[in-house]
């Protein structure tokens, strides 16, 4: 319906059709207000109800303990790369970073501007360094890792046990794809534009006691305390993006929460990884089966880069778009976030089989 394609983009990415339809229906006149969410004051009671409901539903979904704050910020996950060290460490203090791909590398490089970064472990884009091998510094202010590397397609399958250190996680590309134990974390952050909603809002979940120690010289906008004290409304928040995220949260709550979502995500990912395995080497996944991402599935056709180009072109003709791998790694990548229907994944798996048969 609506002439929509199956969109495998890594982000901004597919959103649920019923969420888009609801946003469309409410666009011109939100709940009798005579205007859209995009057009109204963020200080009014209407928008206040929107942001409060979004937070409440997210708290339900992730079972967020009451000693954690939820923030809706701007600047993308990339701004968190600097906000985290500026709030959690003084100049010269040590912070631990686990580098498992392009995004955690960027995070570590940014933090190095503000404090002493210890690279506690490094991945190779194919596997993840076991937590027991991490060389954490005894005096680190926090341990940062990326739960799902969007480009490499490697994903942690459990919470890394870092003892009583403060654990900080970039969950940009797998946020709300599965239940998580928030109490194990100091900070969880995610840009919304992959698994949640539109670009423009970054969600931060932060343990209360970590708020309030921002460096004095840091920009006001990078101080968690300012945003906590002002309920994410110190300045004009990304109202529309928060509203759409709220619609997604509401939908997921109604669908039965994140256990149900995780089960579906497992099924979807298995269809693609099975298709790769069944091709007996025609397609290859570079990633260790133990840490394969349920969200981003990179794969190649090792025998021929030309066939990869053809694959992407023909898939596009068949209504499956954005399958080109990240420019830094090439090949293909299917991003199959929450909102990707299982039918899209089934169609891609069938297409893979047929393409293989034609070119074997
Ligand atoms: N972290 C991860 C894991 C990502 O996938 C991305 C975006 N691709 C970022 C951080 C950067 O996010 P943003 O564009 O919102 O700054």
Mutating to test ligand 1, I would choose from 73, 75, 77 the residue with most ligand atoms within 8 A of its C-beta, which is 77
Instruction: Give yes or no for a contact between 346 and 271, defined as CB atoms under 8 angstroms apart.
Output: yes
Give the model's pLDDT for residue 360.
Answer: 84
Give the model's pLDDT for residue 111.
Answer: 98
Answer yes or no: do 23 and 139 share one domain: yes
Instruction: Give yes or no for a contact between 110 and 139, defined as CB atoms under 8 angstroms apart.
Output: no
Answer yes or no: do 93 and 211 share one domain: yes
Answer yes or no: do 85 and 220 share one domain: yes
| pLDDT tens-place string over residues 127-162 | 999 999 999 999 999 999 999 999 999 999 999 999
Residue 274 falls inside a structural domain: yes
Mean of the per-residue pLDDT values for the chain? 97
Mean pLDDT for 169-194 is 98
Residue 220 falls inside a structural domain: yes
Q: What is the CATH number of the domain that holds 228?
A: 3.40.640.10
**Beta strand 6-7 pairing with 167-170:** unpaired
Residue 193 falls inside a structural domain: yes
Residue 90 falls inside a structural domain: yes
Q: How far is CA 11 from CA 190, 197, 298, 325, in A?
A: 12, 10, 14, 12
H helices of the chain, in order, are 17-25, 45-62, 76-88, 102-111, 224-229, 239-255, 258-278, 305-317, 342-359
CB-ligand 1 contact for 201 (6 Å cutoff): no
Give the model's pLDDT for residue 2.
Answer: 86
How many domains does one find in the chain?
2
Give the model's pLDDT for residue 125.
Answer: 86
Residue 2 falls inside a structural domain: no
Is 113 known to be catalytic? no
CB-ligand 1 contact for 57 (6 Å cutoff): no
Asked whether this complex has an ipTM greater than 0.90, the answer is yes
Residue 163 falls inside a structural domain: yes
Query: Where is pLDDT greater, at 347 or 124?
Result: 347
Residue 319 falls inside a structural domain: yes
Answer yes or no: do 263 and 216 share one domain: no
Answer yes or no: do 204 and 271 share one domain: no
Residue 114 sits at φ, ψ, to 5 deg, of -115, -20
Answer yes or no: do 263 and 226 share one domain: no
- Residue finishing a domain among 255, 273, 306: 255
Residue 221 predicted with pLDDT over 80 = yes
- Residue finishing a domain among 255, 285, 311: 255
Mean pLDDT for 204-226 is 98
State the pTM of this model: 0.98
- Residue finishing a domain among 209, 232, 255: 255
Identify which of 37, 29, 41, 67 has the alpha carbon closest to the alpha carbon of residue 54: 37
| pLDDT tens-place string over residues 2-37 | 899 999 999 999 999 999 999 999 999 999 999 999
Answer yes or no: do 237 and 270 share one domain: no
Residue 13 falls inside a structural domain: no
Is 103 known to be catalytic? yes
Give the model's pLDDT for residue 201.
Answer: 98
Range of the domain at 225: 18-255
Answer yes or no: do 233 and 344 share one domain: no
CB-ligand 1 contact for 62 (6 Å cutoff): no
Q: Is 69 helix (H, G, I), strand (E, B) or coil?
A: strand
CB-ligand 1 contact for 170 (6 Å cutoff): yes
């Amino acid at each position: 319906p609506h002439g929509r394609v199956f969109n495998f983009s890594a982000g901004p990415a597919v959103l649920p059709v019923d969420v888009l339809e609801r946003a469309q229906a409410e666009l011109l006149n939100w709940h009798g207000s005579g205007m859209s969410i995009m057009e109204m004051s963020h200080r009014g009671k209407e928008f206040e109800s929107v942001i409060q409901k979004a937070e409440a539903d997210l708290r339900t979904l992730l079972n967020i303990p009451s000693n954690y704050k939820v923030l809706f910020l701007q600047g993308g996950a990339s701004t968190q790369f600097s906000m985290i060290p500026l709030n959690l460490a003084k100049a010269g203090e040590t912070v631990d970073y686990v580098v498992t791909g392009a995004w955690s590398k960027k995070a570590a490089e940014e933090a190095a501007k503000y404090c002493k970064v210890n690279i506690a472990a490094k991945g190779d884009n194919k596997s993840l360094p076991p937590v027991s091998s991490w060389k954490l510094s005894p005096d680190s202010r926090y341990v940062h890792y990326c739960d799902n590397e969007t480009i490499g397609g490697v994903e942690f399958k459990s919470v890394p046990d870092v003892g009583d250190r403060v654990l900080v996680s970039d969950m940009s590309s797998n946020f709300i794809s599965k239940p998580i134990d928030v109490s194990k974390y100091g900070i969880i952050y995610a840009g919304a534009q992959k698994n949640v909603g539109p670009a423009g809002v970054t969600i931060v979940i932060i343990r209360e006691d970590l708020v309030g120690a921002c460096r004095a010289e840091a920009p006001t906008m990078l101080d968690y305390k300012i945003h906590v004290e002002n309920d994410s409304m110190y300045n004009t928040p990304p109202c529309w993006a928060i509203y759409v995220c709220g619609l997604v949260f509401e939908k997921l709550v109604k669908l039965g929460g994140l256990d149900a979502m995780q089960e579906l995500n497992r099924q979807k990912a298995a269809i693609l990884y099975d298709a790769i395995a069944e091709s007996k080497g025609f397609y290859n996944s570079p990633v260790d089966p133990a840490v394969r991402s349920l969200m981003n599935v990179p794969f190649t056709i090792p025998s021929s880069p030309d066939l990869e180009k053809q694959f992407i072109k023909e898939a596009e003709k068949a209504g499956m778009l954005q399958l080109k791998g990240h420019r830094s790694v090439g090949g293909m990548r299917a991003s199959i976030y929450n909102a990707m229907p299982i039918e899209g994944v089934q169609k891609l798996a069938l297409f893979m089989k047929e393409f293989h048969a034609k070119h074997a």
